[in-house]
Amino acid sequence: MGARGADTSRRRARGVPPAGEGGTALARLALLALSACILVPLVTAGFRSVLWASTGIAGLALAAVGVWWALAHTGVARIIGTALSVAAPLTVLALYAAAGLLGPALLSSGLLALAVVAARRALAPAFSPCVEAAGTPRHPWVLMNRRSGGGKVERFRLADKARAAGCRVHVLDPGQDVTALARQAVADGADLLGVAGGDGTQALVADVAARHDVPFAVIPAGTRNHFALDLGLDRDDPVAALEALTGGVELRVDLGYAADRVFVNNASFGTYAAVVDDPAYRDAKARTILQNLPRLLTGEAALALRMTADGRRVTGLKAVLVGNNSYGRAMDVAHPGRRERLDAGLLGVVCIRVGSTAEAARLASRPRSGGLVRLSAGEVTIETDTATMPVGIDGELVVLPCPVVCRSAPGALRVRVPRHRPGKPKPRGTATDWPRVTRLALGRPLLRPKQPGRDEGTDAETLAAGAAPSVGPPVHRSNTDRRGSEMGSTS
């Protein structure tokens, strides 16, 4: 198995329960804000506040119905849905204002938001990635894609600056095999592989680096570079990342695999992947999405995905996002937010199974109704009733045979980064668990949360955010591993 089969638990960041005055103070602030959020409407409107709260929930449900009609239908239904999605919340606000409750309603909503944020911060596991000093490589090799990011390589003169730092630079020509170039570089003695380009190119070279246990450096010269963002690199200053080619520090991060395809960010299945398959998507994203969604959500092309994650089975899905670690926000696959860590050893999974007007309304009024499922798992299997399915891997469309097995390779990649990373993510916290918040506020020891995706009876929200395990899951054998010794001996 080579580098991926080695024990990486000692290199992985350790998640520990929150402790100390900081976490306790935040927990007390969360409970205080939650209590005030309930008291404000009670003091203002008495028991009528229950009616007004129900009115607000009904408004959210109607707005969700409007959004569903706008996305899943065309013609008059889309026009009505768009109007409803705007009119419903405005009507609720107007009713609150007429009753003299607009101010208290806004104040109560703000207090609720404060309570949730404080609770999540209080429960955030304190972890510190194991960062090691990196020696100077003797034969660094860098692949540069001139077409990425609108020509960042030439605009920032990255090739000249890398050569001046002693690196061997290969400028990618159209039609060249990225993986073959990286393999040849290792065969020629390269002891560091770097890439100036987009996430798709980064992933291919990262896979070769992981197979040979060679350090990997990211130079954000692409359009989005989500991987660089989550590493804390400044995407607007790719020159600063060149420090990693000759020094910097080293850390271990995970890689994700969908069948035998590597991804550093995510693999998307279902609706989004089908939209990306449309040739018009690149030039007119919003228009293409609106044109395709009705047939994908309710028409003959409506998708029906099934997912099994570490033994848990979910059916009737419209879309599935499988991330290399968990995203803080994942409703928009193209812009899913940030990952606060890349070394938890688990895939972050988000599933959507809203397939009707009623389900859209339930999701808005009851977030835990099952329309949106979030969890973490070491291995995820995606199935359909077709022989193959389109998959968006780091934004690029591929077609893979069904079923597709996704897995995490914990600590597989050695990444060199500059010593100073201005965008290093800060822990945002976990899903709100009020019993644990209460225990923390009272100064009582916290019970260890259930392992994400593994414990029976854990609801979807808790699965999304339980503290990261201190010992990663075993590396599962899947489509990629079945190739045997190729994993560690050949690339």
Between 448 and 256, the higher pLDDT residue: 256
Q: Is the pLDDT of residue 421 over 60?
A: yes
| Residue 475, pLDDT score | 38
Between 403 and 433, the higher pLDDT residue: 403
| Residue 120, pLDDT score | 81
pLDDT in tens, 246-265: 888 999 999 999 999 999 99
Between 219 and 130, the higher pLDDT residue: 219
Token look-up 């699965």 returns 463
Q: Is 122 in a helix, a strand, or coil?
A: helix
pLDDT band at residue 110, thresholds of 50, 70 and 90? very high
pTM of the model: 0.68
Cα–Cα distance, 143 to 173 (Å, whole number):
10
Please check whether residue 179 is in contact with residue 207, taking contact to mean a CB–CB distance below 8 angstroms: yes
Lowest mean per-residue pLDDT among 194-198, 372-376, 431-435:
431-435
Q: Please say whether the dihedral angle defined by the alpha carbons of residues 460, 342, 344 and 472, taken in this order, is positive or negative.
A: positive
Lowest mean per-residue pLDDT among 64-68, 102-106, 401-405:
64-68
Q: Is the pLDDT of residue 118 over 70?
A: yes
Q: What type of residue sits at position 313?
A: R
Lowest mean per-residue pLDDT among 162-171, 265-274, 355-364, 367-376:
355-364
| Residue 211, pLDDT score | 95
Between 103 and 284, the higher pLDDT residue: 103
| Residue 302, pLDDT score | 59
Lowest mean per-residue pLDDT among 144-148, 330-334, 353-357, 475-479:
475-479
E-assigned strand segments in 233-355: 249-258, 261-263, 266-270, 305-309, 312-317, 319-324, 347-352
**Burial classification of residue 47, based on how many CB atoms lie within 10 Å of its CB (0-12 exposed, 13-18 middle, 19 or more buried):** exposed
Q: Is 383 in a helix, a strand, or coil?
A: strand
What would the mean pLDDT of 396-416 be, rounded to a whole number?
A: 93
Show the DSSP H helices in 165-259 as ranges. 178-187, 199-211, 226-230
Paired with 306 in beta bridges are: 383
For residue 410, give Cα distances in angstroms to 19, 114, 131, 247, 263.
27, 34, 16, 24, 13
**Mean pLDDT estimate for the chain:** 77
Please check whether residue 92 is in contact with residue 55, taking contact to mean a CB–CB distance below 8 angstroms: yes
Structure tokens at 232: 């804390």
Q: What percent of the chain has pLDDT over 70?
A: 70
| Residue 456, pLDDT score | 35
Q: Is the pLDDT of residue 420 over 90?
A: no
For residue 170, give Cα distances in angstroms to 109, 139, 145, 149, 255.
55, 13, 9, 17, 24
Q: Is the pLDDT of residue 44 over 50?
A: yes
Q: Rounded to an integer, what is the distance from CA 420 to the centroid of its chain?
A: 24
pLDDT band at residue 371, thresholds of 50, 70 and 90? low
Q: Which range among 176-185, 301-310, 336-345, 422-431 has the greatest average pLDDT?
A: 176-185
pLDDT band at residue 223, thresholds of 50, 70 and 90? confident
pLDDT band at residue 311, thresholds of 50, 70 and 90? confident
What would the mean pLDDT of 79-92 be, rounded to a whole number?
A: 91
Q: Which range among 41-55, 173-187, 214-228, 303-317 has the greatest average pLDDT?
A: 173-187
C-beta atoms surrounding 3 within 10 Å? 20
Q: Which range among 2-6, 310-314, 367-371, 450-454 has the greatest average pLDDT?
A: 310-314
| Residue 470, pLDDT score | 31
pLDDT in tens, 228-248: 999 989 888 999 999 888 888
pLDDT band at residue 278, thresholds of 50, 70 and 90? low
Q: Is the pLDDT of residue 17 over 60?
A: no
| Residue 6, pLDDT score | 37
| Residue 279, pLDDT score | 60
Please check whether residue 327 is in contact with residue 336, taking contact to mean a CB–CB distance below 8 angstroms: yes
Q: Is the pLDDT of residue 423 over 60?
A: yes
pLDDT in tens, 207-221: 999 999 999 999 998
DSSP string of 459-490, one letter each residue: -HHHHHHSPPPSSPPPPPP-TTGGGTTHHHH-
Q: Is the pLDDT of residue 361 over 70?
A: no
| Residue 338, pLDDT score | 79
